[in-house]
Amino acid sequence: METIIILDHGSQYTQLIARKVRELNVYCEIHPFNNPPKFSDEVKGVILSGSPCSVRDENAPNPDLWFKGKMPVLGVCYGAQYMVQAFGGSVVASKIREYGRANLNFIDKESKLLKGVGDNSQVWMSHGDTIESMPESYKVICSTESVKNAGYKIEGEETYAIQFHPEVYHSTDGLTMLKNFVVDICGCEQNWTEDSFVETTIKDLKEKLQDDKVVLGLSGGVDSSVAALLLHRAIGDNLNCIFVDNGLLRKNEFEEVLASYKGMGLNVIGVDAKKEFYSALEGLTDPEKKRKAIGKTFIDVFDAEAAKIKDVKWLGQGTIYPDVIESCSVKGPSVTIKSHHNVGGLPDYMKLKIVEPLRSLFKDEVRRVGRALGLKDELLGRHPFPGPGLAIRILGDITPEKVAILQEVDAIFIDNLKKDGLYNKVWQAGAVLLPIQSVGVMGDERTYERVVALRAVESVDGMTADWCYLPYEFLAKVSNEIINKVKGVNRVCYDISSKPPATIEWE
């Protein structure tokens, strides 16, 4: 597969460069600048990312540019400044602010990188340093009013660089520039598509796994479902899936999802472990303790089920690219490894090898692959749901009775979102059971019952989120239905906090 290598110097935008290149149907990989891969013949070019550091810092990233001049290179922001500084030019602290929108008032129309870029095109600057002077062979290809050396090409090489960020939305012709680089300059064929991914992955999995057995934990989420479908296509019934009912799922979710997995032909064992989870959670109120108890119980249950499958050699996981990048980034392994990958914590004695067919995909690509594999829209378009499930939406201790109440409330909320065509507009929604009671009046009776909060957010990746402006009429209808139908609840609130400073889940 033709590949573009992106060397990461720690910029917050590095993943975005990769996503834009993938959008152009060109395969690319991100690697830390200080741990670059061995280049295969398939590497067609290199992109040097931005960085939060200044090239003038003592410990600034210092990639080895052995490939410069041998293949096309595109330096972005820090990458552009580094190639100037390393080869005899000068980079200084900028006197004026070079942050935010700017317009190109000079564009070299002959430049291959800038083909199709409109006059005055808007670009996004984000740097405290600026290129003051450049080595002789560096030729300016674009400027803004305040930044003369906004972009350059090195003569005699296919090396280009720009101080602005083509990958961000505000750089209007940014995608055109990236396309010019990867397609025209590097010569990539744009044949990285979900179909080609499915085909090559299945072939690779067949070679790798041969007649071995694989066990995989399904969660009902998109990632594990797509991973299972791919593995199933490759090795058929040698894939053994385990889907655990932890008693913390949504109303009827276990039965429905299990049925749809079976409908897809997957060899899946449904395990009713509600009792184990409830007893592990008994009396626990601290959110972290609840999470830990759930994680440990999951491993115990999964382990016991997996041990029943004879001669299993591999553990399948739905790990996706952002998790991989996070754990090998410039800054080192992240401290916040997501707990839904808790199957990774399986006991050593199981000695299973790990197979992760989605390791190279971004979330939107996982969805496209899922669609190509025939995964139904109900599964593909599902809102994210946390591994610890309703346990982190019931504040305080967990009892089966509280779970049952919350399941009813949640089902009314979600069903109404679907009925009113709002479900797909919301990134994630759910209900929270609060550990308080409030006074109300029903008929002529005074009531003293539970309070629930509804939460609906807009987000791209869950890292930041804003609460959704759901119509008042909708909220009124849902609130009425909850209070009328769910015994034990007499008050409904709507959460209007954004993340940060709040989080999406309450615990």
The answer to the question of residue 386 lying near ligand XMP (CB under 6 A) is yes
Instruction: Find how far residue 147's CA is from the centre of its chain.
Output: 34
* Nearest partner of 78 among 330, 353, 336, judged by Cα: 330
Q: Which is nearer to ligand XMP, 92 or 496 (CB)?
A: 496
Phi then psi dihedrals of residue 168, to 5 deg: -90, 150
Under 8 Å between Cβ of 281 and 398 = yes
Q: Which is nearer to ligand XMP, 188 or 228 (CB)?
A: 228
Largest interatomic CA distance in the chain: 89
Minimal distance, residue 497 CB to ligand XMP, in Å: 11
Of 28, 127, 158, 165, which is the active-site residue?
Answer: 165
- d(C-alpha 468, C-alpha 478), whole Å: 15
Minimal distance, residue 411 CB to ligand XMP, in Å: 17
Respond yes or no on whether the N-terminal peptide bond of residue 501 is cis (omega within 30° of 0).
yes
| Residue, CB closest to ligand XMP | 340
Is 77 part of the annotated catalytic residue set? yes
Minimal distance, residue 467 CB to ligand XMP, in Å: 12
User: Per the structure block, which two tokens stand in for 275?
Assistant: 């009792």
The answer to the question of residue 428 lying near ligand XMP (CB under 6 A) is yes
In this structure, the dihedral spanned by the alpha carbons of residues 430, 365, 80 and 122, taken in order and rounded to 10 degrees, is -70
Strands 159-162 and 151-154: antiparallel
Q: What angle do CA 314, 316, 321 make, to 5 degrees?
A: 130
Binding mask 192-211 for ligand XMP (x = CB under 6 A): --------------------
Answer for which of 12, 190, 252, 503 binds ligand XMP (CB under 6 A) is 503
The answer to the question of residue 291 lying near ligand XMP (CB under 6 A) is yes
Q: Residues 439 to 498: which contact ligand XMP by CB under 6 A?
A: 462
Q: Residues 218 to 277: which contact ligand XMP by CB under 6 A?
A: none
Is 170 part of the annotated catalytic residue set? no
Is 155 part of the annotated catalytic residue set? no
Minimal distance, residue 345 CB to ligand XMP, in Å: 13
Of 2, 98, 158, 167, which is the active-site residue?
Answer: 167
Minimal distance, residue 263 CB to ligand XMP, in Å: 25
Answer for which of 107, 205, 227, 504 binds ligand XMP (CB under 6 A) is 504
Phi then psi dihedrals of residue 440, to 5 deg: -145, 180
Answer for which of 22, 233, 340, 368 binds ligand XMP (CB under 6 A) is 340
The answer to the question of residue 368 lying near ligand XMP (CB under 6 A) is no
Under 8 Å between Cβ of 392 and 352 = no
- d(C-alpha 306, C-alpha 314), whole Å: 11
- d(C-alpha 264, C-alpha 380), whole Å: 14
- d(C-alpha 248, C-alpha 410), whole Å: 12
Answer for which of 53, 242, 388, 412 binds ligand XMP (CB under 6 A) is 388
Q: Could you give the residue ranges of the DSSP H alpha helices within 35-104?
A: 78-85
Of 77, 186, 188, 241, which is the active-site residue?
Answer: 77
Q: What is the contact surface with ligand XMP in residues (CB under 6 A)? A: 291, 338-340, 384, 386-388, 428, 462, 499, 503-505
Among all residues, which ones are annotated catalytic? 77, 165, 167
